[in-house]
Structure 1
Amino acid sequence: MTTQSPTLAADVPASPSAQPAQGIGKTARYTYLALLAVALAAPAIGLYPVFMMKLLCFALFACAFNLLLGFTGLLSFGHAAFFGFSAYVTGWVIKAQGWTPELGLAAGIVTSALLGLVFGLVAIRRQGIYFAMITLALSQMVFFVCLQAKFTGGEDGLQGVPRGALFRLLPLEDDRVMYYVVLAIFLACFLGILRIVTSPFGQVLKMIRENEPRAISLGYQVDRYKLLAFVLSASLAGLAGSLKTLVMKFATLSDVHWSMSGEVILMSLLGGVGTFFGPVLGAGVVISLQDILADKVGEWVTVIIGAIFVVCVLAFRKGIVGELLALLERRRARKGA
């Protein structure tokens, strides 16, 4: 019996022809290796480290969201709560309490996991639009807490958060050192999500996404699986927010605003929900457009990105990566016929 590679299982739709799938798997692996090489060489080839770190933080955020929507089928409008509140917690414990960066990141992860558990227990028994609206309502409650709480700085946010030294050894104030730390964390989480998706647990999540009544009839405790997926997604989203605070040295209300939940949905849909690399590409496109267009068109950047999103949804229903994979599969199927 042959085994399927993790890359193939994550990003390539099931195909009746094994040969086309193997070809697409090779293409995906070569693409990943090329992108990894570019990421490792980014500071040396002149790519701005802070921009690259911001991109990686939002790519992790999008991957965390995709774990819930793409592989479990749950649409959350409340992920800004995990991203933003963890950003505040990490910034506060590092700046006001003098914690080291690794403890600050851990505090952000624990906070988002607990928040995700609360959200999940309240919302997980609902489906569709009801689930989405409950998560949005809970997220807005977190937003108003952040607006009123003293430790968040209110409308001014937390400013001047020091990066410190990771494990008292790595000076994170150096942008290059900080970049490789962020890259290492992103890669670890990226591979962790891949492992989750291709594990027996991940297969059950996909079954729930495709046919929840069948999963229930087979004896799976569906609510527990969905709750665990929700907490995992929230924890990774919180880590992304905590990293963003360390990178940018501040946390603001925009991190926890409902529009941030909209942005991560946009990133996932644009790149390709249910594909492994799609959210990373979607985050790259959105963050790059924001960075390039912000100085030229100001607030109109949101309108432009929205228009691009509408065009992509109409033209590429599976997202950019999903459509590319489908195109490759069709071409290789024709060659093998």
Structure 2
Amino acid sequence: MHDMSDAVHTTKQKAELAQSRKTSTSYAVFLLAGFALLLIAPMFFYPIFLMKLLCFALFACAFNLLLGYTGLLSFGHATFFGGAAYFTAHAVKVWGWTPELGVLLGVAGAAVLGLVMGVVAIRRQGIYFAMITLALSQMFFFFCLQSEFTQGEDGIQQVPRGHLFGLIDLSVSTNMYYFVLAVFVIGMVVIWRFINSPFGMILKSIRENEARATSLGYSVARYKLGAFVMSAALAGLAGGLKSLVFQFATLTDVAWQMSGEVILMTLLGGIGTLIGPIFGAGLVVTLQNYLATSDFPVTIITGVVFMVCVLVFRRGIIGEFYASRFGRMLGFEHRH
């Protein structure tokens, strides 16, 4: 009887191991194919459009780190995105810093803002947490509106891209694109490592059952604050890049609409999935880009797309793909 039980257990373990290998292989193939497409994309698409897509994809993935893996809905992520854009733009234009140092300053500034906002907001849960982040974000917006540092409604214009490490001229669009792509890949690797670390596993347990995580002895508030700061720093990375790509930082970057936009991107792609926010950002940015020159109102079309996706794709587009028969066949049903 024991031999039969051991045999069944061994067979189950082998099946799970085979399934895990199949999933990892499928995932690796998809990621490599996506990376190869991004490498040759400038040959077929306008580089500025591609860079905007990558910046917002990174922004959405940073937000998903908080919402999808920790279960915290923030309405204030524009603070980190726009704040880093201002920090980077000011450092590069006024202080004459190199672009890589300017971006690092933006990341550090966003992390500090995340720490300050997180210490206040983490004390509350649910809708109260969301409202506190929105209120603090609006406070920062009005600070940017009235501050001389941000140049008010004019924003920081004509930001020079400079030379990467003093060698590579980023005023050349192709060079700038591959710099943005490299930073995007680094950001995604950091996110992947974060969510697959013991810290990330604890965050998932907090999302699923906070009371049980507390009963196991974990300091839930500290873990939430850590996730909040990490999400803010990565959002700042996207914002700093964006200010170099478009060579300006304005109030649009810190407005509440920007926070709403990143929520939309994440929900469209699928919360709690690694590549879902990338797909959602790509969909929204593409709609904005190609409808901007048409007679169709962009916000209405985007709203209709969002409504259809919510009704038809309850888990988001990528989330539904994972749960589909084809996704299960490839081993994606439990992939996050």
Mapped contact 1:57–1:243 kept (Cα < 8 A) = yes
What CA distance in whole angstroms lies between the structure 1 residues aligned with 2:326 and 2:203? 25
Residues 296-335 of structure 1: pairs in structure 2 closer than 5 A: 296-297=294-295, 300-328=297-325, 332=329
Aligned to 1:31: 30
Deviations 1:40-84 (A, max 9, x none): 1122x2221111111100000000000000000000000000000
Residues 98-113 of structure 1: pairs in structure 2 closer than 5 A: 98-113=96-111
Stretch deviating more after TM superposition (59-68 or 147-156): 147-156
TM-score by length of 1: 0.91
Aligned to 1:150: 148
What CA distance in whole angstroms lies between the structure 2 residues aligned with 1:203 and 1:136? 28
Residues 53-92 of structure 1: pairs in structure 2 closer than 5 A: 53-92=51-90
Aligned to 1:42: 41
Aligned to 2:8: none
Deviation at 1:31, TM superposition (A): 1.6
Aligned residue type for 1:304: I
What CA distance in whole angstroms lies between the structure 2 residues aligned with 1:163 and 1:278? 30
Aligned residue type for 1:309: F
Aligned residue type for 1:32: L
Residues 111-126 of structure 1: pairs in structure 2 closer than 5 A: 111-126=109-124
Mapped contact 1:272–1:322 kept (Cα < 8 A) = yes
What CA distance in whole angstroms lies between the structure 2 residues aligned with 1:17 and 1:282? 31
Mapped contact 1:20–1:329 kept (Cα < 8 A) = no
Aligned residue type for 1:135: T
Mapped contact 1:20–1:332 kept (Cα < 8 A) = no
Aligned residue type for 2:242: K
Mapped contact 1:69–1:75 kept (Cα < 8 A) = yes
Match of 2:185 among 187, 208, 212: 187
Mapped contact 1:21–1:329 kept (Cα < 8 A) = no
Aligned residue type for 1:219: G
Q: Which runs of 5+ in 2 are unaligned?
A: 1-14, 332-336
Stretch deviating more after TM superposition (23-32 or 265-274): 23-32
Deviations 1:266-308 (A, max 9, x none): 000000000000000000000011000011036x101110110
The 3-state SS of whatever aligns with 2:292 is helix
Stretch deviating more after TM superposition (33-42 or 57-66): 33-42
Deviations 1:140-178 (A, max 9, x none): 000001111112121121110000001101111111111
Deviation at 1:199, TM superposition (A): 0.7
What CA distance in whole angstroms lies between the structure 2 residues aligned with 1:169 and 1:158? 25
What CA distance in whole angstroms lies between the structure 1 residues aligned with 2:164 and 2:330? 50
Change (3 A) 1:331 1:121: closer
Change (3 A) 1:18 1:297: farther
The 3-state SS of whatever aligns with 2:158 is coil
What CA distance in whole angstroms lies between the structure 2 residues aligned with 1:332 and 1:232? 34
Q: Which runs of 5+ in 1 are unaligned?
A: 1-15
Aligned residue type for 1:316: F
Stretch deviating more after TM superposition (102-111 or 194-203): 102-111
The 3-state SS of whatever aligns with 2:161 is coil
Mapped contact 2:22–2:330 kept (Cα < 8 A) = no
Residues 117-136 of structure 1: pairs in structure 2 closer than 5 A: 117-136=115-134
TM-score by length of 2: 0.91
Mapped contact 1:270–1:312 kept (Cα < 8 A) = yes
Aligned to 1:3: none
CA RMSD between the two structures? 1.7
What CA distance in whole angstroms lies between the structure 1 residues aligned with 2:219 and 2:238? 29
Deviation at 1:98, TM superposition (A): 1.3
Aligned to 2:12: none
Mapped contact 2:26–2:330 kept (Cα < 8 A) = no
The 3-state SS of whatever aligns with 2:45 is coil
Aligned residue type for 1:169: L
Match of 1:137 among 111, 135, 138: 135
Deviation at 1:27, TM superposition (A): 2.9
Deviation at 1:328, TM superposition (A): 3.6
